[in-house]
Amino acid sequence: MVKVLTDANFETETKDGIILVDFWATWCGPCRMQSPIIDELDEEIGDKVTFAKMDVDANPQTPQKFGIMGIPTLIIKKDGAVVEKLVGFHQKEMLEEVLDKYI
């Protein structure tokens, strides 16, 4: 199940393992297109990668810390360090390729 992150729990919830965080907002069309892809990946490889989402409107501090200027933005963290930052909508196959580098 995709985790919901907040400014308060971001650091604790993303410090271990491989985590893909989807920064999004309810009003964002491309974000709504990205969301079902994240859900599909979570079902398929959620045992190897943790998938999480953060609403940038409700949680402005963390996106600002990571310099997120546009959404959707996906960051991949491995053991607490950001290893990839992807801006804009991404197809499932492309995300699988990127994640395979870290699994």
Which residues belong to the active site? 28, 31
Q: ω into residue 30 within 30 of 0, thus cis?
A: no
Residues 52, 23 contacting (CB under 8 angstroms): no
3-state class (DSSP) for residue 64: helix
- Token readout for 36 is 């079902």
Residue among 18, 25, 29 at smallest CA distance from 51: 18
Please give the Cα distance from 101 to 4 (Å, whole number).
Answer: 24
